[in-house]
Amino acid sequence: MSRVITIGAAQLGPIARDESRSEVVERLVGLLDQAARAGCDVVAFPEMALTTFFPRWFTPEVDGHDHYFEKSMPNPEVRPLFDEARRLGVGFSLGYAELTPDGHRYNTTILVERDGRIVGKYRKVHIPGHDEDEPWRPFQHLERRYFEESSEGFHVWRAFDGLVGLATCNDRRWPETYREMGLQGVELILIGYNTPMFYAPDPGQNALQGFHNHLVMQAGAYQNGTWVVGVAKGGIEEGVESLAQSAIIAPSGQIVAQAVTTGDELITARADLDWCDHYKTTLFNFDRYRRLDQYKRITTQRGVILPEAREPGPEPA
């Protein structure tokens, strides 16, 4: 019996700096209702889906943005989303800023099954940007100031009749992210992102943001035989233009659904999880074809080590 599920990606437009949690949750519930009417089993919401992307502003104290963090999950403001999901029998992933009771800050995503239970929690591993104020930038990207790098790794959970994994934004640019979950048999990876169109370290990349976004997720899907959902918080958020172009990608690497606006928009696709085996049992049969003895650098070396410079010697005979 094939395992066909209906996946939703609930793209969000901008969330204003002073937009309340309950105003945002109302938008999320509206998208969830749309998803239920479209027959979705699971809906992916973006990274930091409850607040504006606050790392764009510097605060002298690291706790200066703590009002944007969730101290518990669920909590009274978010509870309506959990209640509606359980009533509708639709699961979801949700990204938010997490402040733990012992004072750690993570860029976190949870996976909630159709009965409203939290079945997975992922804390972002690859934290981009910088940790001190850099006034030369038109806006900051201070994720490394406000979030710790998680050392809890990438997990895959049994959910929605398959094997489901989570990743967040910058994680999607690193092939290791997908392979770590591919080696756990992942069949569906849900990835939320907040990606400014303007990349201060190299503005030449600005025009390629959409291309790079799909490139890395399509490659990750194909090379690991998994469905991938990329869901944006897009549009012009507090003056910063952010990439939308949410997409649902099949194990073949093909985009099967894509957002056409930069606002709140639900896209859906029927996903046969058994399609993953077309790649997992052939081209990307890891157990048969991977050469662990040839990949030492990947887990033992962090940065580049250049080959020795060769002294000009006698011409080879």
Residues in CB range of 303: below 8 A, 6 or more apart: none
Which of 105, 141, 179, 233 forms a contact with ligand ING (CB under 6 A)?
141
CA distance 232 to 259: 9
Name the residue nearer to ligand ING (CB basis): 154 or 193.
Answer: 193
**Bridge pairing between strands 240-242 and 235-237:** antiparallel
Least spacing, CB of residue 7 vs ligand ING, in Å: 21
Task: Note whether 128 binds ligand ING by CB under 6 A.
Answer: yes
Question: Does residue number 173 form part of the binding site for ligand ING (CB under 6 A)?
Answer: yes
Kindly give the interhelix angle for 209-224 and 175-182, rounded to the nearest 10 degrees: 20
Interface pick for ligand ING out of 194, 218, 224, 226 (rule CB under 6 A): 194
Catalytic entry in 84, 98, 113, 124: 124
Q: Residue from 182, 196, 230, 251 that binds ligand ING (CB under 6 A)?
A: 196
* Span near ligand ING by CB under 6 A; candidates 95-103, 166-174, 219-227, 289-297: 166-174
Residue with token string 């303007």: 198
Shorter beta-carbon distance to ligand ING: residue 121 or 173: 173
Question: CA 266, 267, 269 angle in degrees (round to 5)?
Answer: 140
Q: Is 124 a catalytic residue?
A: yes
- Contact (CB, 8 A) for 19 and 52: yes
Closer of 103 and 204 to ligand ING (Cβ): 204
Q: Could you give phi then psi for residue 208, rounded to 5 degrees? A: -105, 5
CA 157 – CA 180 distance, rounded (Å): 13
Asked if 57 is part of the footprint of ligand ING (rule: CB under 6 A), the reply reads: no
Active-site option among 40, 47, 84, 187:
47
CB of 34 to ligand ING, least distance (A): 25
Under the binding rule (CB under 6 A), the answer on residue 199 touching ligand ING is yes
**Is there a catalytic annotation at residue 121?**
no
Spatial separation of the C-alpha atoms in residues 222 and 296, rounded to whole Å: 23
Q: Would you call 134 a catalytic residue per the annotation?
A: no
**CA 26 vs CA 81, 92, 190, 237: distances in Å:** 8, 15, 22, 18
Q: Given candidates 10, 159, 169, 250, which one binds ligand ING under the rule CB under 6 A?
A: 169
Window of 96-104, 147-155, 194-202, 284-292 that interacts with ligand ING by CB under 6 A: 194-202
Q: Which of 124, 119, 228 shows the shortest CA–CA distance to 182?
A: 228
**Whose Cβ is closer to ligand ING: residue 163's or residue 243's?**
243
Handedness of CA 221, 181, 51, 20 (dihedral sign): positive
DSSP-assigned beta bridge partners for residue 299: none
Identified catalytic residue from 84, 169, 237, 276: 169
Binding site for ligand ING (CB under 6 A): 128, 141, 169-170, 173, 193-196, 199
| Residues designated catalytic | 47, 124, 169
